[in-house]
Structure 1
Amino acid sequence: MKGRPSIHQDKDVIRKAQELFWEKGFSATSLSELSKATGAGAGSLYNTFKGGKKELFKKSLQQRREDLKEFRRQLENSDNPTELIKNHFRTIVDTDHRSHLRGCIVANTIIEMTFIDDELENEAIEILKETEKLYTATILEEQKKGKIKSKIPATTLGKYLISLWCGINSLRRIYPDQEILEQQIELQLQIIN
């Protein structure tokens, strides 16, 4: 893909860049690596993403927001949204070793950008807060229906699930083992029964 990418190709470029950022982080990813990974020349990347590497990284994070919107739609259309949330965590167990080592790009960004870049840090924080709000609203609705018996406030459980997400994405790097991860995830998910 030489020259200026088309709008259709822009999404492909963002996905490929996201994969690289996910593994290396923002700071450790060079423009030449992005060019190689995406197949777009450096000039083409800068013509497409006027804010350069930072804009491309922000668009990579924005893709996670798009995934969150899709997850919200799935929850809204589900007969058992609690199980859907639990399955979201359970999918971690069956991912490959490389995915375990990558963890979560959003949580990784918060850690990497704290004290470095407030804009990127806050962008990542907002994604996790949006996820927390989604969890909280879903849990509250399921508590009202009597489908979640826990009397722990939904706001507390929403934050708990974000803590679980960030924690499990660290644990999977320490123990990239299906059995261990499954035990830990199932243990932690008992709180939303």
Structure 2
Amino acid sequence: MSAGRPKDFDENVVLDRAVDIFWRQGYEATSLEQLLETMKIGKGSMYHNFGNKRDVFKLALNRFMHNFSSWFSAEISAAKDPIEFIRKFFLTIPKQEINDHQKGCFLGNTVAELACIDPGLEKLAVEHLTNMEQTFYRYIKEAQANGKLKSKEDAKLLARHLINLWNGLNITRRMYKNPKDLMPLVTLQLHVLQ
């Protein structure tokens, strides 16, 4: 039996391309033709290697979150002051490129778009956001215990506040594209991390 044609593409590169179009346009607005054109593969290759459009979206979402989580975990673990790292992380968001402002948050976009359309994909995005919340919680709790964070607010509430800030900021930055308009809002919201 023949082994079939060898792959002439790197799956990770192809999935990164899928991340880009799904992030920019969303799941529903991305046609199969646009997806294939962006991924630079044929329909047969897509179905054989990744499955259908929904499967590609799920793989793209997981790849995006794996890459982001790996980066974030490495950076926060290496930080001398994890709470200061979190502050700086949020303060960089208003300074991002204008194209990033328009894209918003891939996870938040997915939750908003697919809440009533595809509960399975919505749940996957929520799980990734919840994992991020848990990371915030762990470092907030630790900082409170060792006196590096003065706030006596419940660590879980503070972690949820940061997720809310993340989601809200990714909408608000579509309204106010100038970092000078966004920075005071972010700074105000981060007062809870004093």
Q: TM-score, normalised by structure 2?
A: 0.93
- What code does the residue aligned with 1:57 have? F
Q: Quote the offset at 1:93 in angstroms.
A: 1.5
The residue number in structure 2 matching 1:148 is: 149
- CA distance in structure 1 between the partners assigned to 2:89 and 2:64 by the alignment: 14
Letter in structure 2 aligned against 1:189: L
What is the match of residue 29 of structure 2? 28
Compute the displacement of 1:89 (Å). Answer: 1.1
Return the letter of the residue paired with 1:47.
H
Residue 105 of structure 2 is aligned to residue 104 of structure 1? yes
Q: CA deviation at 1:47?
A: 1.0
Consecutive unaligned residues of structure 1, counting only runs of 5 or more, are none
| Alignment RMSD | 1.4
Segments ≥4 residues shifted beyond 4 Å: none
Q: Amino acid of the residue matched to residue 41 of structure 2?
A: A
Aligned to 2:64: 64
Number of the residue aligned with 2:180: 179
Deviation string, structure 1 residues 138-163 (Cα, Å, up to 9, x no partner): 00001111111001010000000000
Instruction: State whether residues 143 and 149 of structure 2, in contact with CA within 8 Å, keep that contact through their aligned partners in structure 1.
Output: yes
Residue 81 of structure 1 deviates from its aligned partner by: 0.6
Tell me the CA shift for residue 74 of structure 1.
2.0
Separation in 2, partners of 1:99, 1:73 = 23
| TM-score (norm. length: structure 1) | 0.93
Letter of the structure 2 residue corresponding to residue 53 of structure 1: K
Aligned positions of 1:28-177 closer than 5 A: 28-50=29-51, 52-66=52-66, 67-177=68-178
Structure 2 unaligned spans of 5+: none
